């Protein structure tokens, strides 16, 4: 296997822009998004595209992805396999040795569907073998069909084609129903591991994570030193309205040895410039006194008050005397010496 950057991580960019950017960054291999390549070839010839790759010393190591092959029937099946054949031609033309295949999106799967999937996967493998292409079956965490590593391994093993393997996507393994024991199945049949996709996620729970939450491996790891015994979090009103308090909670909960308490106190009362007005002073104070200020005054020793809103921190300091800090300021203060700030 060859390390490469997936074009799925750069969807707004064109094929040509991706190749230039990867080359400039010192990456010499790309997992090509087939739709991008097809769109590029609508205006550029295959020969000029091959020159581009050669000039920038970039290899198309794998191709993503082909769907619709496993469970479709009738005219839909013929259309998907015709498209598959054209994409195999592209793989052969650009010396792409691995193509990712995904299971069909369906509401319900029965035993007949599983049998059809195995037969279709075997046929797809036979077609791909004629183009010297290996197929890598991808399981997807949220799918109703082929959502786990063990199911993908079972389909691959039972289809019986030597050029059909599994795509181990760590994101879908981490966020789906796959189990650690499933890795033992790969240990028994290591030749079935055709492709690996690695990504991190940060600031989001597994159940809520989507492809858009993928980040580069390692970017999600923030080594922190032990912090305060308690972190009292007050969410800014705009932060709450956009549903962005949960990511802050998840990140702050990683502080070693700290107990995170969400004040869940509504508005602090400042509300932008509202509380600065003489006419609004008492109302502003009453809003804060409803829940937030008492929680801060009653806080335990070695508690750090955290608030992302500038006006929130000002209001808290004025009425309670507590010096609230921005979450990023707290986290920066706890970075380990080897962690770049």
Answer yes or no: are the C-beta atoms of 299 and 321 closer than 8 Å: no
Strand partners, 31: 6, 62
**Each residue of 148-206: pLDDT tens digit?**
999 999 999 999 999 999 999 999 999 999 999 998 888 878 888 999 998 888 767 78
Q: Do residues 248 and 298 share a domain?
A: yes
Phi-psi region of 62 (alpha: psi -120 to 50; beta: other; left: phi over 0): beta
Helix, strand or coil, per DSSP, at residue 161: coil
Q: Do residues 80 and 209 share a domain?
A: yes
In a domain, 329, yes or no: yes
Work out the average pLDDT over 58-76: 94
Helix, strand or coil, per DSSP, at residue 155: helix
Question: Residue 276 pLDDT more than 80?
Answer: no
Question: Residue 217 pLDDT more than 70?
Answer: yes
Q: How many separate domains does the chain show?
A: 2
Structure tokens at 309: 């809103």
Question: Residue 63 pLDDT more than 80?
Answer: yes
In a domain, 273, yes or no: yes
In a domain, 225, yes or no: no
Of residues 21 and 211, more confidently modeled: 21
Answer yes or no: are the C-beta atoms of 281 and 252 closer than 8 Å: no
With a pLDDT cut of 70, the percent of the chain lying above it is: 97
In a domain, 9, yes or no: no
Q: What is the DSSP string of 7-71?
A: GGGGTTS-HHHHHHHHHHTT--EEEEEHHHHHHHTTTS-HHHHHHHHHHTT-EEEEEEEE-S-SS
In a domain, 139, yes or no: yes
Of residues 330 and 210, more confidently modeled: 330
Domain of residue 278: give its range.
230-333
pLDDT at res. 42: 97
Q: Do residues 187 and 266 share a domain?
A: no
Work out the average pLDDT over 226-232: 94
Question: Rounded CA gap, 13 and 318, in Å?
Answer: 48
Q: Do residues 239 and 323 share a domain?
A: yes
pLDDT at res. 149: 94
Q: Do residues 205 and 299 share a domain?
A: no
Work out the average pLDDT over 126-133: 97
Q: Do residues 180 and 71 share a domain?
A: yes
In a domain, 257, yes or no: yes
Which of 188, 213, 238 marks a domain boundary? Answer: 213
Sequence-distant (6+) residues with CB within 8 A of 50 are 94
Grade residue 340 by pLDDT with cuts at 50, 70 and 90.
Answer: low
Whole-prediction pTM: 0.68
Of residues 180 and 339, more confidently modeled: 180
With a pLDDT cut of 90, the percent of the chain lying above it is: 63
Answer yes or no: are the C-beta atoms of 120 and 158 closer than 8 Å: no
In a domain, 339, yes or no: no
pLDDT at res. 151: 92
Q: Do residues 142 and 256 share a domain?
A: no
Mean confidence (pLDDT) of the chain? 90
Question: Residue 75 pLDDT more than 90?
Answer: yes
CATH label of the domain that carries residue 186: 3.20.20.150
Question: Residue 219 pLDDT more than 80?
Answer: no
Question: Rounded CA gap, 188 and 193, in Å?
Answer: 11
pLDDT at res. 220: 66
Helix, strand or coil, per DSSP, at residue 62: strand
In a domain, 340, yes or no: no
Question: Residue 236 pLDDT more than 60?
Answer: yes
Q: Do residues 196 and 74 share a domain?
A: yes
């Amino acid at each position: 296997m060859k390390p490469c950057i997936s074009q799925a991580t750069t969807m707004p960019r064109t094929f040509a822009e991706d190749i230039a950017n990867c080359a400039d960054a010192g990456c010499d291999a790309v997992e090509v998004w087939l739709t991008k390549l097809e769109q590029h070839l609508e205006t550029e010839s295959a020969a000029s595209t091959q020159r581009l790759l050669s000039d920038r010393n970039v290899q198309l190591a794998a191709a993503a992805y082909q769907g619709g092959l496993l469970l479709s029937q009738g005219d839909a099946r013929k259309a998907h396999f015709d498209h598959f054949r054209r994409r195999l031609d592209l793989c052969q033309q650009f010396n792409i040795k691995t193509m990712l295949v995904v299971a069909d999106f369906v509401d319900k799967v029965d035993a007949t569907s599983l049998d059809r999937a195995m037969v279709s996967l075997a046929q797809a493998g036979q077609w791909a073998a004629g183009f010297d292409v290996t197929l890598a079956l991808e399981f997807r965490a949220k799918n109703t069909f082929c959502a786990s590593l063990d199911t993908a391994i079972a389909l691959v093993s039972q289809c019986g084609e030597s050029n059909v393997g599994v795509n181990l996507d760590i994101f879908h393994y981490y966020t789906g129903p796959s189990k650690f024991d499933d890795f033992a199945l790969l240990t028994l049949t290591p030749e079935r591991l055709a492709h690996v996709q690695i990504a991190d996620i940060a600031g989001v729970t597994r159940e809520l994570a989507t492809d858009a939450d993928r980040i580069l491996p390692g970017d999600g790891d923030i080594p922190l030193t032990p912090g305060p015994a308690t972190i009292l979090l007050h969410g800014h009103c705009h932060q709450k309205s956009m549903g962005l308090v949960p990511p802050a909670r998840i990140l702050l909960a990683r502080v070693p040895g700290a107990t995170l308490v969400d004040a869940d106190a509504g508005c602090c009362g400042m509300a932008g410039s509202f509380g600065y007005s003489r006419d609004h002073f008492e109302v502003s104070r009453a809003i804060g006194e409803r829940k937030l200020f008492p929680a801060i005054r009653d806080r335990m020793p070695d508690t750090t008050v955290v608030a992302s809103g500038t006006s929130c921190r000002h209001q808290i300091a004025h009425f309670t005397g507590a010096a609230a800090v921005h979450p990023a300021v707290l986290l920066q203060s706890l970075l380990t010496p080897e962690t770049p700030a």
